[in-house]
Chains A and B, each alone.
Chain A
């Protein structure tokens, strides 16, 4: 019997961690801009590009 109750609290704790992770990511602005980061990652970091002639 009590196994189920322990499991219950374990599962809620895990879910609570996910909730905390969500709140944290929302707070740090991850959902503010859904355009810039996916574009940014595709830019080349090559800084030695020579002017085209």
Chain B
């Protein structure tokens, strides 16, 4: 399966290889008409910097957006939910543009006012991938604004969720808390120096001023900056579970109480520096982790797949209607390339429905008037009219989704949580032992030693090692195209021993077929004729044939006839050509999808269609098999069985014609056997299985919106690095363990002083920050080294 990429010409707009239908324009080559049109708009408006800033920055335009797709924005009611501000002169709106990825995108999107005078200004928020546009609504409507964005290749992503739900809450508070903690920590450190160095008896006054100043400075830390820890430990306590924040909150409270007591009673300087240090370093870890997650939304539900509004036909007039407002018995119009949002039956038009999203079957299914279609399919071909049978939230897909959520169980607890519980018990034990000991020997030391144990034995070093290592690993994985939902997923990946792969869209690139021809050789002219005939049909097989044979030229087919499920026929240049898909039985028995070619009723040969595997798949499968159990599970027919069998060397379990339910129950079976299953899939058809498995990774082509809810999103091109990613996650545990051992050593050293009741503020002041800092350094270096070793971008 050698695929030539190197000698292909790249599209000047999007960088995709130009195969069929390439267009030369202005000394540049484009892969399709769509890309050329975008280039033309950009060029006309003197925005060619777009192409100078980055090479091939565009987004491929092979699949054009339907022109009146945003017609629903003309509806005041819908529009008002998107608009953030409106007065007499201007309107402000925020669109989500998931395609934006580089400085060229930024440049173009912020220069929209040069393309259309109606735009006053636009500003991009890059991490959130949104654009805020101020526009003059007397010149430009919201609908045409969306169309303008689409015309330059940045189709705004508008989902029902955007419209109905509230805005995301930022981590702004955490940043303020970090700032406050940092300020107080550094000043308390500074003012503790007299305490560390020892002050003459004559300077008693200074000492007490410094102590009281420290107490004052520690108040914002205790009451404001440490708040997240109280909150999270309180939550966990209410659920009768001791999480890792609980001992931290306990340590902070005990340290504060003891320090206040010391200052008020004049017996010592307290441990304010240690306390604010803990809070500061913990907050740093938390902020870093939050940053990693900011731009990703994993909580997609079925609503984000469906269009916001559909066209309803009422008394012969077309109207936009919000999806939830759709009623049973409404007639809706589904355009080409549109998702079918509800279950219903066809009343007009021939449907050719691509269910790959729901079932994984890569070839579309034909449906005629009177037949029923399920939500989730994508219409290809002409427009169809449907009568709504069930409301949106009762359809097949929706029920699939709802069950998924009940099926989701609480995933097993993390290693660190287990250790921390153990740790807490040990600390309590030591504190108790020290208390009992001093009770018999010197009761005046009970209070000092017991509190000192809690101060020193705070598991913050352990938590730090965990949150920092996870943070680094998440960041490295993100840089390399694997985005995880939470740090818990890293540990889940590390324990995976069985990998289940979906075929369509995961192993194969979606929507592409490899074509080969066998039979009598075809002349150039014949090839052109066949292509001309096939070009009349919208069936994906016909499209693949056109791609395979090259451009159709300007010959026309006469008497073109398409018999659904049978084939196409017609005259081209007075030659009778028939492309026959064979009978249904033949298709069952044939291993591969085949189309027979007849010219003037004589069989010349046939075209074979095979899935196009991503080029690294054979190597990837081999690597995965060498370390894990591997299964391939597909909604498709068994046509590819032999090829997959040879690719996996017969060492992987292969399943075909699997419905979403089958995939789910397969995962469950494997889990009952005790396997830790990682499922990798792409469509909604894998949704249930992705949630059931210990780790569900959704494969996404480009910065596509369509990923089902999952534990992680992996860019399709990065799938080949999967073995490295798994290895990195396994290393993660080693790094955490190493830094954990280090923190235990620090703890033992601190406890040595604490139980004797001789923990001086100086020892605490040296021990706490140095343990935190050295652990931060250790985790950073070791994750850097392990990423470097695997040649992953850091």
Contacts and interface: CB of A to CB of B under 8 A. Distances in A.
A31 B126 contact: no
Given A23-B179, A26-B176, A51-B43, A39 B191 contact: no
A15 B203 contact: no
Contact of B126 (A18, A33, A47): A33
Interface in B94-116: 103, 106-107, 110, 114
A51 B114 CA distance: 13
Interface string A1-39: 100110010011001101100110011000111111001
Given A1-B205, A1-B206, A53-B26, A35 B126 contact: yes
Interface stretch (B46-54, B262-270, B315-323, B672-680): B46-54
A29 B495 CA distance: 40
Contacts of B190: 11
B103 A15 contact: no
B175 A31 contact: yes
B236 interface: no
Given A8-B213, A19-B183, A43 B175 contact: no
A17 to B, nearest CB: 10
Contact of A36 (B124, B175, B206): B124
B176 A49 contact: no
Given A5-B206, A36-B125, A12 B107 contact: no
Given A15-B183, A26-B176, A50 B107 contact: no
B191 A8 contact: yes
B127 A35 contact: yes
Contacts of A16: 183
Contact of A50 (B46, B114, B180): B46
B127 A12 contact: no
Name the residue in A16, A31, A36, A53 with the highest tally of chain B Cβ atoms < 10 Å from its Cβ.
Answer: A36
B436 interface: no
A42 B49 CA distance: 11
A34 B125 CA distance: 9
Contacts of B110: 40, 43
B179 A47 contact: no
A19 B179 contact: yes
Contact of A33 (B107, B125, B210): B125
A6 B110 CA distance: 51
B173 to A, nearest CB: 10
Nearest to A48: B46
Contacts of A49: 46-49
Contacts of A31: 175
A32 B125 contact: yes
Given A26-B179, A31-B175, A32-B125, A52 B48 contact: yes
A40 B77 CA distance: 35
A26 B47 CA distance: 33
Contacts of B206: 1, 4-5
A52 B43 contact: yes
B108 to A, nearest CB: 10
B574 interface: no
Contacts of B213: 8, 12
Contacts of B43: 51-52
Contacts of A11: 187, 190
A13 B128 CA distance: 36
A52 B47 CA distance: 10
B194 to A, nearest CB: 9
Interface in B103-150: 103, 106-107, 110, 114, 124-128
Contacts of B203: 1
B209 interface: yes
Contacts of A35: 106, 126-127
A53 B125 CA distance: 33
B770 interface: no
Nearest to B104: A39
B442 interface: no
B175 A26 contact: yes
Interface string B185-201: 01100110000000000
B172 interface: yes
A26 B114 CA distance: 32
B44 interface: yes
A4 B194 CA distance: 12
Given A48-B46, A49-B48, A39 B103 contact: yes
A15 B187 contact: yes
A52 B26 contact: yes
Given A1-B205, A52-B43, A19 B180 contact: yes
A4 B126 CA distance: 48
B106 A36 contact: yes
A35 to B, nearest CB: 4
Nearest to A35: B126
Nearest to A5: B209
Given A22-B179, A23-B176, A52-B26, A43 B107 contact: yes
Interface in B3-62: 26, 43-49
B405 to A, nearest CB: 32
Given A15-B183, A47-B46, A40 B209 contact: no
A23 B183 CA distance: 11
A21 B125 CA distance: 22
Nearest to B183: A19
A33 B176 CA distance: 17
Contacts of A5: 206, 209
Nearest to B43: A51
A49 to B, nearest CB: 4
Interface in B271-321: none
B342 to A, nearest CB: 39
A8 B43 CA distance: 62
A49 B45 CA distance: 8
A31 B125 CA distance: 11
Given A5-B209, A8-B191, A51 B46 contact: yes
Contacts of A23: 176, 179-180
A47 B106 contact: no
Q: Across the A-B interface, give the 3 residue pairs with the lowest CB-CB distance, nearest first.
A: A49-B46, A39-B103, A35-B126
Interface of B: 26, 43-49, 103, 106-107, 110, 114, 124-128, 170, 172, 175-176, 179-180, 183, 186-187, 190-191, 203, 205-206, 209-210, 213, 217
12 contacts: A1-B203, A8-B210, A18-B183, A23-B180, A26-B176, A27-B176, A32-B127, A39-B107, A40-B110, A43-B49, A43-B107, A47-B46
Given A1-B206, A36-B125, 19 more contacts: A5-B209, A8-B191, A11-B190, A12-B217, A16-B183, A23-B180, A26-B176, A27-B176, A34-B127, A39-B103, A39-B106, A39-B107, A40-B106, A42-B103, A48-B46, A51-B43, A51-B44, A51-B45, A52-B43
Interface of A: 1, 4-5, 8, 11-12, 15-16, 18-19, 22-23, 26-27, 31-36, 39-40, 42-44, 47-53
